[in-house]
Structure 1
């Protein structure tokens, strides 16, 4: 077990210069998450198929072609937007990834962009769904030969097993989008972290300008640093935030002092952002107004 761990261990440096120690998702974990997502999609598609069949019987055969086109377009939209919307959320993960404990991150350490999410998920059409659908439809209609069906299966198989043949366990979509899939803890955002960390006896005071310096994205990244409890990362992040908000270091400047400072700033920033949301105002990141 200890020998296998370094194989998937990676370091990621954020634009602020913070180094995070990560563990890439194994091929088995990624396959498990994908299977869970596909089972959910299949359940939805089965329900949609039954509904389409009911409409077909009620409206008659003259509407069969239109219903089939609507079903195909709906299936395409569902299997793409399901993955895109899931990874565009705060957890950067579909439902299957959340269950397994995975999330998507940008390999350059920056924020996961919408373009990267769209690119990695549209590639799944070329990798898996289109060749499998072509094989199924052509076999059912007798359009293609057995060799064509075998070719479609081989095409899908190559891309399905592609993560096994590169050290970062990347899909073709990850290569194009510049993303990693990493292991992460299943958690409620922030609630359990606040409960686990007692408040300092005399926490430092932060003014409005200091709390407006960062947004929800930076709050989540700070939470990750506190959870990983890496001494070097804590020292670097504390120094970065102090410089950003103009807060002078107090005491000895030890790792313990930095941790206490980050705990206090995390609490204050989270409460500040929650108050803004209650007033209908959200600050997505430090670049937002």
Structure 2
């Protein structure tokens, strides 16, 4: 089995961070550079702006014929909803990234794995995006108000406030926003691995010589499936050996004569994936090995 590693070039030491999963797997990640983050937020703000402009025409043309004040009120409510929930909805999704972040190949990730999980929680996503209102949107709103509503000094203070928070990632080694510090998150690179074939298809041949009992396949959930997929993609021999041994001990598997760790992991990946997909069809989603459903 051959596959390309997730990063085409070595990760610079200053950008490299270690993330230890509950299974003891060392997943080295690369911090997103400031340029990529600026590019991502610029794209997202552009998307929000274009959406607001288009929606304004829709509300005006569709609402003024009936009730002009109602149309404006609905537009204001829509603008507040879009500004408040755009980042929240996308970062709570499976990609943990807004369209801007996905285009720049970066995503949000959790920094704290002490509770046995490296996945983002809804509270973390909410916290980092709630701070964005204070960091960016609120002070910048002073700049677009009419001059008779806000004097020049307040507008200048708003600009300085926004500038401080925009430059905040430059002054800490993990390039964290204030929201990231409070939420326990960071922004990392997420380049798409280039693979010759799908992992599930790659394990078809090796699966034929392995037979797992339902109890053995039920030992893990979706989180562990993603970890196993990362291990198979990165192709680090020592990591694969360690993970294979952990899985064998967990499910009570006796290694067969001539059985390689690669073949075993491929077969178990295929069996686990098929089992989880079958359960999803029945409306059952097992998040991880601690989920008893």
Q: What is the TM-score normalised by the length of structure 1?
A: 0.86
Q: 1:223 to 1:152 in 2, by over 3 A?
A: same
* 2:4 alignment counterpart: none
Which segments of 5 or more consecutive residues in structure 2 lack a partner in the other structure?
A: 1-8
8 Å Cα contact 2:109-2:185 kept in structure 1:
yes
Higher relative contact order (CA 8 A, sep 6+): 2
* 1:34 alignment counterpart: 41
Q: What is the TM-score normalised by the length of structure 2?
A: 0.85
Q: 1:148 to 1:96 in 2, by over 3 A?
A: same
Query: Structure 2 matches for 1:226-245, cutoff 5 A?
Result: 226-245=232-251
Bigger proportion of residues as helix: 1
Counterparts of 1:249 and 1:41, CA distance in 2: 55
RMSD of Structure 2 on Structure 1 (CA): 2.7
In the comparison of the two structures, how many residue pairs are matched? 280
8 Å Cα contact 1:14-1:108 kept in structure 2:
no
2:23 to 13, 16, 19: 16
1:151 to 157, 165, 169: 157
Q: 1:240 to 1:71 in 2, by over 3 A?
A: farther
8 Å Cα contact 1:10-1:21 kept in structure 2:
yes
* 2:111 alignment counterpart: 107
Counterparts of 2:202 and 2:189, CA distance in 1: 21
Say which is worse superposed, 163-172 or 178-187, in terms of deviation. 178-187
* 2:271 alignment counterpart: 268
8 Å Cα contact 2:204-2:270 kept in structure 1:
no
Matched position secondary structure for 2:65: helix
Matched position secondary structure for 1:181: strand
8 Å Cα contact 1:98-1:186 kept in structure 2:
no
Counterparts of 2:199 and 2:24, CA distance in 1: 24
Counterparts of 1:197 and 1:5, CA distance in 2: 33
* 1:278 alignment counterpart: 281
Counterparts of 1:215 and 1:119, CA distance in 2: 27
Q: 1:131 to 1:199 in 2, by over 3 A?
A: farther
Query: Per-residue deviation at 1:8?
Result: 0.4
Query: Structure 2 matches for 1:248-259, cutoff 5 A?
Result: 248-250=254-256, 257-259=260-262
Counterparts of 1:144 and 1:132, CA distance in 2: 12
* 1:194 alignment counterpart: 200
* 2:91 alignment counterpart: 87
* 2:216 alignment counterpart: 210
Query: Per-residue deviation at 1:195?
Result: 4.6
Query: Per-residue deviation at 1:125?
Result: 1.0
Q: 1:172 to 1:203 in 2, by over 3 A?
A: farther
Query: Per-residue deviation at 1:77?
Result: 1.9
Query: Per-residue deviation at 1:168?
Result: 0.9
1:121 to 118, 121, 129: 129
Counterparts of 1:188 and 1:3, CA distance in 2: 16
Query: Per-residue deviation at 1:187?
Result: 6.0
Counterparts of 1:5 and 1:132, CA distance in 2: 35
* 1:223 alignment counterpart: 229
Query: Per-residue deviation at 1:127?
Result: 1.0
**2:166 matched to 1:166?**
no
* 2:52 alignment counterpart: 45
2:148 to 133, 142, 146: 142
Q: Deviations over 1:17-72 (max 9, x none)?
A: 222111111111111222222222122111121122224532355x2xx5444333
Query: Per-residue deviation at 1:236?
Result: 2.8
